Amino acid sequence: MFRMVLVLGLAMAPACQFDRSGVQPWETGAPELALEDASTPAKLDLPTVSLTGDGLLPCGPGSCAGCCRGDVCQPGDDPDGCGTGGVACSDCRTAGKVCTAGACVPCSSSLECHEETVCHKKPIGAEGGTCVSPWNRTWRVLVVSAEIDCVTNAWDWGLSFPDPFVTIRSGGASWTTDTKQDSCKPEWKQYVEIQLQPGTPLSFEVRDQNPVGSAPIGTFALAQGVSITLLKLGVIQHLDPSPMAKLLRLTIALIPAP
């Protein structure tokens, strides 16, 4: 093997040479090595090296402020690598927890949960929950409130205000809230439980109940389904600032069912 390398090296040598005739050493770009200097003790000017926290010492309480994954010091604030004071990193993610101040703790809101997960609390309103996938899960779709334009629009033949109700539709199913009498700012706080998948369509139609039939106020649709961003926020605020809008605002809350 050695001989073969040597032969190869010799064979390749000419290719590495080039004609320096007429070219000064400083013009070739290659540094010239002065062989006689090799015997002179070199003056070493090494940078000061810290012996802690840079992997030179085994990762541990004395060398790492975060946590240790094997022998590597990690910041310790990641759900995959959580810890402080040089302890072994904990995996909060698998446990559905979040990393706060170097400890795996239950989530308090979906915005704390890693990537595409939401904070599932049992019961709703509990202080802490578990980060879980939002999909293939039952959600409470809560119709909170609406604001209806009663200034530029006449309702009930100009005699009163509208009597709004909301119909929620998803797939082929539909649910309808109570009717609020004579209200421009109705509050329902009524929910329906729907199992959500990526792309599950969801629509909301607000109408004015009349003695006979009903009249449209406004609609809002999530034809492509609810995004993970909205699920994490937990609130949908549909605003329509257009001059023709009768439905100025519709507020929907999304809560993972306990």
Spatial CA neighbour of 246 closest among 142, 154, 145: 154
Query: Under a CB-based contact definition with an 8 Å cutoff, are residues 188 and 143 in contact?
Result: yes
Spatial CA neighbour of 106 closest among 79, 123, 129: 129
Nearer to Ca ion, 86 or 186 (CB): 186
* E strand segments, 95-201: 98-100, 103-105, 118-120, 130-132, 137-148, 164-170, 173-176, 187-196
Smallest separation, CB 164 to Ca ion (Å): 8
Smallest separation, CB 148 to Ca ion (Å): 11
Nearer to Ca ion, 80 or 182 (CB): 182
Side by side, the strands of the sheet bearing 67-69 are 72-74, 67-69, 87-88
**Using the rule CB under 5 A, is 217 a contact of Ca ion?**
no
**Using the rule CB under 5 A, is 208 a contact of Ca ion?**
yes
Binding footprint of Ca ion, residue count (CB under 5 A): 4
Enumerate residues 140-159 that contact Ca ion by CB under 5 A.
156
| Tokens standing for residue 60 | 């541990």
Nearer to Ca ion, 2 or 157 (CB): 157
- CA atoms of 129 and 98, how far apart (whole Å): 10
Q: CB atoms < 10 A from the CB of 165, how many?
A: 22
**Using the rule CB under 5 A, is 237 a contact of Ca ion?**
no
User: Which residue type does 104 have?
Assistant: C
Piece in contact with Ca ion (CB under 5 A), picked from 54-62, 160-168, 190-198, 234-242? 160-168
Answer for which of 133, 210, 224, 237 binds Ca ion (CB under 5 A) is: 210
**Using the rule CB under 5 A, is 116 a contact of Ca ion?**
no
Smallest separation, CB 177 to Ca ion (Å): 15
Smallest separation, CB 197 to Ca ion (Å): 36
Answer for which of 163, 222, 226, 249 binds Ca ion (CB under 5 A) is: 163
In 3-state terms the chain splits into helix, strand, coil percentages (rounded to 5) of 15, 35, 50
Nearer to Ca ion, 110 or 183 (CB): 183
Interface with Ca ion (CB under 5 A): 156, 163, 208, 210
